Structure 1
Amino acid sequence: MALSRREITKDVLQQSAEAAIASAGHVVAILFESARKITTEVGAFGTEIFEITEASRRADEDAEDTNPAAE
């Protein structure tokens, strides 16, 4: 039994829609993964800044303890 032109058109539209949805899903997954990685990196940068600030504060305190006349 041969397929009618309408059946072929329906199949083409269905497969095209499925392909488009799958591609959109992959793109969205890439965007979410990228956003997650960016958030992780920004958080790591913030941690570095806090550590640098804390080290600077401790260095200032150590300098004051070893050289009280500098005040």
Structure 2
Amino acid sequence: MTDRLSKSEIAKDALQEGVESVASTVGEVASIITTAVKDVAGAIGGLATDAFAIRDAAIQAAERADLDGQSDH
């Protein structure tokens, strides 16, 4: 007796493989996007931290310059 798959079983198996492949790919892409969003948020946060530090340093430098200018009078 020979075991043979019917055309409907073959079609079902092919559809199942296709759906599994699509689901796997969607999961991989979602993971890539999630990581990219996380990395971009981290980079923007780092830039904001740098901007605050630069602003504070500029304020301190201006205050020192004002103090130095006052002592010359």
Residue 65 of structure 1: CA displacement?
A: 1.5
Structure 2: gaps of 5 or more residues: none
Residue 69 of structure 1: CA displacement?
A: 6.4
Matches within 5 A, 1:1-71: 1-68=3-70
SS at match of 1:3: coil
What letter matches 2:18 in structure 1?
S
- Show CA shifts across 1:18-69 (max 9, x none): 0000000001111000000000010011011101100000001111111116
- Equivalent pairs counted in the alignment come to 70
Q: Percent identity?
A: 29
Q: Distance in 2 between matches of 1:12 and 1:35?
A: 35
RMSD: 1.3
Q: TM-score, normalised by structure 2?
A: 0.90
Q: TM-score, normalised by structure 1?
A: 0.93
Structure 1: gaps of 5 or more residues: none
- Looking at both structures, which has the greater relative contact order when contacts are Cα pairs under 8 Å and sequence separation is at least 6? 1
